[in-house]
Amino acid sequence: MSIPKPTPVHGAQNPAEAVLPVFPPELEREIFLLTARTYRGVSTRLMLVASRVKAWIEPFVYNIVFLRVPKHAFDFLGALMNHRSPGFVQSHVKALCIFPSIPLRVTIQLLATCSGLESLALWILPQSDNADLINVLSSLPLTFLSLNLASILPPSYWKLGLQNHPVFINLTHLDIVNNWVLWTSSLGIQHLPFLTHVAFRFWSRGSVNGALSKILQESHKLEALVLLANSVAIPGAREYLEKQNVRDIRVVVLQHARDTDEWELMRKGAISMWQRADVIVRWRRRYRAGPFDFPPGFSFGCAEDVSRYTL
């Protein structure tokens, strides 16, 4: 890459002020994007610097959006409907994280507006009438979904299996945040045709062998099954899984504190839990390691520990 010569400044009195440094566009773009990722709070102000900077930063600003409280949701929805074309929204808004406090009506409006969503965290509370929510979810091109199952499925549906529900049919990555799921059944997850990654909350209690065995044996495309455990459950995870006869190198236990942590990592461009699990599984395959072995120096999935293993 050749660096252009500095541009003379006409009328400059001081020789030190006689030139302005000119960066190559590629380098300038990287500087602004790095600043936006590191200091996300200033990213919208960076777009005011110049039209070219706005073109670089705007896709990043809209790529992953957190809606924590109703005001965030109302403001974001208003901005999209009043200042952005449907084409812009469809092509730029690819991931939403919707917190439990967001009203159902606003959630439905958001999902209908963001018709190009590929990744969604839907953690809203259970609803008595969710037909409209299910309809709009079914129309989205979702491949990544983090979900409170009770928000869209009544308990009577769990026996039918997720493979019969249009929201789940095209997913490749599914993260179920309900703690009790593994104590019930496999929920038909093993029959989802495109699923490669699935994550559950793990508490080292109850019997999980039946559910996990079905998923591991019958899900033909499955690459990683992630069990997210808190610091209390982590120490006994291996012993518990061995007693449950769950011995598969695709099962990866990762330390987990809050559901928002993984989405924060995604927003920062850091290595996600799915990527950490992939690295561990590939390492186990390459070195013929056991189902409870981890790369040297690794401690239950911290991003900084696993990032060195780019297999």
Domain range list for the chain: 23-60, 68-142, 151-311
Q: Is the pLDDT of residue 310 over 70?
A: no
Asked whether the CA dihedral 264, 267, 272, 274 is positive or negative, the reply is: positive
Tell me how far apart the terminal alpha carbons of the chain are, to the nearest angstrom: 29
pLDDT confidence of 42, banded at 50, 70, 90? Answer: low
Q: Which range is most confident: 140-149, 177-186, 200-209?
A: 140-149
Taking the C-alpha atoms of residue 166 and residue 7, their distance in angstroms, rounded to an integer, is 58
Q: How far apart are CA 279 and CA 286, in angstroms?
A: 10
Average pLDDT over residues 21-28: 75
What pLDDT band is residue 15 in, cutting at 50, 70 and 90?
low
Q: State the CB neighbour count (10 A cutoff) for residue 215.
A: 25
More confident residue, 26 or 295: 295
Residue 242 CB contacts under 8 Å (≥ 6 apart), including other chains: 292
pLDDT at 182: 73
Please say if the pLDDT value at position 247 is more than 60.
Answer: yes
pLDDT band at 311 (very low <50, low <70, confident <90, very high): very low
**Percent above pLDDT 90 for the chain:** 41
So what's the pLDDT on residue 136?
Answer: 96
The 8-class DSSP code of residue 156 comes to G
Higher pLDDT, 154 or 290: 290
Hey, how many other C-beta atoms are within 10 angstroms of the C-beta on 129? Answer: 7
With a cut of 80, say whether residue 3 has pLDDT above it: no
Query: Is pLDDT of 154 > 70?
Result: yes
Write out the E strands in 87-152. Answer: 95-98, 119-122, 144-147
Most confident among 15-24, 196-205, 240-249 (mean pLDDT): 240-249
